Structure 1
Amino acid sequence: MVDLSQYLPILIFLGIALGLSALFVFLPMGVARLTGAHNPTAEKLSEYECGFPAFEDSRSQFDVRFYLVAILFIIFDLEAAFLFPWAVSLDMTGWPGWITMMVFLGELAVGLAYAWKKGALEWE
């Protein structure tokens, strides 16, 4: 028979986390309704951006190049996050670590060249 008593602290932790999360979400809504702060008007419910009314439909689609540039930014940001620990531990990893990182950087360079060749980085 399996002893599940080891999982009791985890279940207690999850229960407390769920309770606190619900408290932080629903308590301010309840207090606002009880104190009268919940008073929606047309002006309060109108959308705004930087103090100005919205210029276009809020559900307009973005150009796919925006997402490609965002993904490329995330990829190269993660690359920078991997380069620092690699550089610090290069004396311990030696040539195998250096070769592995060069393969990694080469793969990223090939991906960037491909995106560049396809015109993903060109704006009109």
Structure 2
Amino acid sequence: MLTQFSYVGLFLIIGAAFILVTLGIPIVLTRLGVVPKKPSKVKQETYECGMETTGRSWVQFNFRYYIFALMLIVVDVLAVFLYPWAANLGELGAPAFFVIVFFLFIITVGYVYAWKKKALEWQ
């Protein structure tokens, strides 16, 4: 009979084997000659939507894109933590309620900080 730690170890072994197989297939196929490797100038060019690129290919993006991405991740993590808490609130009791209130307070402080720094304004 497997213990709980045995299941974790088995999961890690299967995960590592999956990664090795996934990374190993292209290497093996290249060595067998199945994957062609004939670089040319046309293959090395930047491809975008079937059109030739105009201007520089390295363009600096506005940092606000990253702020909005981080805010999206915060909201996603918030949903991941709140759903199981809400589903089991009756069993968890008052201490869990105060823990989640503290968690929401921390999230609110971060949101207010970003708002005061005008990081959420789109220009």
Q: What band does the TM-score fall into relative to the shorter chain?
A: 0.7 to 0.9
Q: Which runs of 5+ in 2 are unaligned?
A: 1-8
Residues paired across the two proteins, number: 111
Length-normalised TM-score, structure 1: 0.72
Give the 3-state SS of the residue equivalent to 2:93 in structure 1: helix
Aligned equivalents of 2:54, 2:80: Cα separation in 1: 38
Residue 120 (structure 2) aligns with: 121
Residue 25 (structure 1) aligns with: 26
Alignment of 1:33-72 (within 5 A): 34=33, 37-72=36-71
The structural deviation recorded for 1:53 is 2.7
Give the 3-state SS of the residue equivalent to 1:63 in structure 2: coil
Residue 99 (structure 1) aligns with: 98
Q: Which runs of 5+ in 1 are unaligned?
A: 1-8
CA RMSD of aligned residues (A): 2.6
Give the percent of matched residue pairs that are identical in Structure 1 and Structure 2: 33
1:16-66 CA distance string (max 9 Å, x none): 8375355223123224xx358322222222111222233443333222211
Q: Tell me, yes or no, if the aligned pair for 2:114 and 2:120 is still in contact at 8 Å.
A: yes
Residue 5 (structure 1) aligns with: none
- Computing the radius of gyration over CA atoms, which structure comes out larger, 1 or 2? 1
Residue 108 (structure 1) aligns with: 107
Residue 75 (structure 2) aligns with: 76
